[in-house]
Amino acid sequence: MRLSDAGGASAPCVTTVLATPRTQPGGVLCGEVRLKGGDADVAIDRIRLGLVTSPYVAHEAGGHHPNEEFSQAPVSGAVVLRQGEEKAIAFRAAIPWGTPISEIGGRHLAGMALGVRTEVVIATIEGRSDLDLVAVSPAPAQSRVLQAFARLGFPLTSADLRARREDDPHHGLPFLQKIKFYPPDHHAGVVHEVEVTFVPSSSEFVMELEVDRPSGRHVHAGRYRMSHEEALRTDWPSEIDRWLVTRPGRAGR
């Protein structure tokens, strides 16, 4: 990204380099912002990163929404960059626990485009870089649940983001992600589709599971809430199978 000041002079060239383009909910993203000075000294007011997703929000007019920034991380405050000077500023950006998962087992989830965008402010000039894509893999407890569905024979069908209700206290992000699975044959008569929603925080693991019946009736099947350590110890294939076998509409724990 290169900015131009009001007088048309060449301003700094800004490049964001990620140490690894892969992270997970509750993790960190490391890298550096590299600056190269332009034709004159310049005083940069601030540099920050924005975590961005291009969501598909179901059941809303228009469906597709513009890129939405849902988290910010400061990189630097005021910096003086001399003419032609090269400077690198390292960063560690915290990834919110509610960040959508964009890949499972190395497989990209269609429609789940996430990335970081660098913002540089120089006086009245504000520039934003193109999106640098980031892959978000499941956190360990989330991965255990998703692996359990695979072991039970549930093929992954899709994932999308839903606008969070104003009265929903789960977390501060404006959306929730729903990951959808079709049932194996022995569940097909009573279950059409299973939707998994993770709403974790740093202190606890929360998972909601919803069931669509073949009749088209949407049934809320239950909710799990526990520590991350307990979620790692849970026998998820048994828990999920029990959930579905014993009345899909019954509330979970």
137-154 pLDDT, tens digit per residue, is: 999 999 999 999 999 999
**146: closest CA among 159, 133, 134?**
159
**100: closest CA among 57, 63, 151, 61?**
57
Extract the residue ranges of the chain whose pLDDT is less than 50: 6-7, 56-65, 248-253
Residue 137 confidence (pLDDT)? 96
Q: Spell out where 95-174 has E strands.
A: 103-104, 107-108, 114-122, 125-128, 132-133, 135-136, 156-163
Taking the C-alpha atoms of residue 129 and residue 180, their distance in angstroms, rounded to an integer, is: 33
Q: In degrees rounded to 5, what are phi and psi of residue 105?
A: 60, 35
pTM for this predicted structure: 0.82
Residue 3 confidence (pLDDT)? 58
Residue 136 confidence (pLDDT)? 95
Taking the C-alpha atoms of residue 200 and residue 145, their distance in angstroms, rounded to an integer, is: 13
Residue 200 confidence (pLDDT)? 86
